[in-house]
Amino acid sequence: MDQSDAATRTRNGDRKAPPTIYDIARLTGVSPSTVSRALNKPGRLNAQTERRIRDAASELGYRINPMARALPTGKTGTLGLLVSDITNPAYFDLVRGAERVASETGMTIVFADSQESPELERSTAERLQTSVDGLLLVGSRLEDQQIQELSSVKPLVIVNRLVDGIPAVFPDVRPGITTALELLREAGHRRIAYLAGPEASWMNGQRWQHAFEIAVEWDMSIVEIKSNAPTREGGAEAFGRVKAADVSAVLAYNDLVALGLLRECRDHGLDVPGQLSIVGFDDIFGADLPTPALSTIRMPLAALGENGIRRLLAEIDGGASEDDAALPTKFVGRESIGPVGV
C-alpha cells in the first residue's frame, strides 16, 4: 500500500510516526533508558553522552509523548479549568491569567464549562479528573460535599468559593463594597437594592451578605431583588421589580446584570444616574462602554486565575498549605452613580 501513499497527498496515511526515544537510542548506540535520563535528569549522565543524545534528539525533531510519560509517572502535565459559564466575560480575564501562569510553567490547560448546571459540572469534573494533574473549579455550583469528594480524588482548588478543607482562592469583596456604599451614602442614598445572582453561587452570598452588613451598619435600608439569570437578559428582566422597589440605587450581582438593567433603564427613559444609581461587580470588558459608563467593583480576575493555578501547582507537588491572602476588590468610579434625586 505504500506505493499509493506517495501519490495521494491528502491521504492521512502519509503521516509518519514521530520519533521515539528508541529511535534516538538506536541512532546514538545507547539504551532507551539512557536516552530518557539524558533528556530529563541533567547531570546524571556523562556530559558528552548527554550532549550526543540531546543533539540526536533535536536533530530527529524529537518531542516527548506526554501520554507515554503520564502512564508510569501519573503526571500528565495538564490542568483542568472548569467554569460555571463561559458566556460571562468575567471568566475570560480569569482564564487569561490562568493560561498565563500555566504556559509559563509548561503546563497545558484543558478548558470546559458547565453551563450553570451542577450535574454537568460534576460529570465534567469527573471526566477531566482522569486526565489532569489537578482541577481548578471556578464559581462552582456544586455542594460542599461533592467538592470534597472530587478533592479526594485529585488535587483541586476552588476559586470564588469557600469549602471546609479545600484550598481556595477568592477575593475580599468587603473593601470594594465598603467604598461603593460609602459613596452612595455620601451622595444621599438611603434606600438601596441588591440585585441578586444565582442562589447556588457562594460569591452571590458573599456579596449580598457584606452589602447587607455594611448597609445596616450605616443605617441604609437594603432589599434583595431576585433575578432569573446572571446575564444581561436577567438584569433587563428585573427592571420592573427594581422600579417597584422604590430605591435610589442598585448594587448588582455582577456587571452583566448591571449592564442589562442599565440598558433597560435607558430604553425606558429612566435616567441613570439621575433617577437611579447603578453599581456593578467584576469590571468586565465593556463595563466602561455604555453612557453612562458603569461604576463597578473590580474583581482581581486575572490575579484570581493566576493564583488559582499557582495554588493548584503547589497543591500538586507538595501540598504546601500556605493560605493565600484574600485578594482585595476595588471600587471603580465611573458615571453610573450620582446624587440622589429629590
Task: By CB under 7 A, name the binding residues for DNA.
Answer: 17-18, 20-22, 29-34, 36-37, 39-40, 44-50, 62, 64-65, 68-69, 71-73
Smallest separation (angstroms) from a second copy to the CB of 186 = 27
Q: Are 308 and 244 in contact (CB under 8 A)?
A: no
- The listed partner (DNA, a second copy, none) that binds 3, CB under 5 to 8 Å by sort, is none
From the CB of residue 223, how many other CB atoms can be counted at a distance below 10 Å? Answer: 16
Smallest separation (angstroms) from DNA to the CB of 256 = 41
Binding residues for a second copy, how many (CB under 8 A)?
Answer: 53
Q: What is the DSSP letter of 341?
A: P
Instruction: Give the cell for residue 181.
Output: 456604599
92 touches a second copy by CB under 8 A: yes
6 touches a second copy by CB under 8 A: no
Using alpha carbons, select from 83, 88, 98, 140 the residue that is nearest to residue 303. Answer: 98
- The listed partner (DNA, a second copy, none) that binds 269, CB under 5 to 8 Å by sort, is none
- Say which amino acid occupies 237: E
Q: Residue 64, SS3?
A: coil
243 touches a second copy by CB under 8 A: no
Q: Are 22 and 32 in contact (CB under 8 A)?
A: yes
Q: Are 255 and 294 in contact (CB under 8 A)?
A: yes
What is the secondary structure of 180-206 as a DSSP string?
HHHHHHHTT--EEEEE---TT-HHHHH
State the binding string over 112-151 for a second copy (x if CB under 8 A, else -): xx----------x-xxxxxx--------------------
Residues binding a second copy (CB under 8 A):
9-12, 14-15, 18, 63-68, 70-71, 76, 78, 86-87, 89, 92, 95-96, 99, 103, 108-113, 124, 126-131, 152-155, 165, 259, 263, 285-286, 289-291, 315, 319, 321
